[in-house]
Amino acid sequence: MREIKFRGKRVDNGEWVYGAFVPDATERTHGDMVTWGFISGHNIESGRIESIEVDRKSVGQYTGLKDKNGVEIYEGDVVKADMDFGPGGMMEQITNIYWDECTGGWQFNYFDKSTIEVIGNIYENHELLEARM
């Protein structure tokens, strides 16, 4: 069974938080009109569940996979991996991770999964993708 969790960048201090994504009531009512959400967390000191406001654009879902170093791979991560180009052979590629609507899955189909390495994310390291062009 795949673990369902999310991450997002806190609005107040820019740190990453991990947990369940909880859209606010306005977002549930008006769809994409709201540009922020909440990541629920557990406050160990108080024993209470707390909601942390995050930049909605930074929220990404855990893919259920880890890279070759054991790092969890999230939507929006930038990875380096070998891709199979069929008769053309394998070639190292840098790409961002996203949900592929055509296949109904994460776009890992052509990656040699043993070579995937997270090298950043599109929110903090967009220059990694610009360098490949």
pLDDT number for residue 54: 86
Indicate the residue type of 2.
R
Q: Provide the 3-class DSSP secondary structure of residue 103.
A: coil
Pick the closest to residue 77 from 132, 120, 28 (CA basis).
120
User: Could you tell me if 45 and 77 lie in one domain?
Assistant: no
Per the domain annotation, does 1 fall within a domain?
no
d(CA 62, CA 95): 16
pLDDT number for residue 126: 81
Q: For residue 49, how many other CB atoms are within 10 A of its CB?
A: 12
CA 70 to mean position of chain CA atoms: 15
Residue 2: pLDDT over 80? no
Of 45-54, 57-66, 76-85, where does mean pLDDT reach its minimum?
A: 45-54
- pTM of the predicted protein model: 0.80
The number of distinct structural domains making up the chain is: 2
User: Could you tell me if 45 and 95 lie in one domain?
Assistant: no
pLDDT band at 33 (very low <50, low <70, confident <90, very high): very low
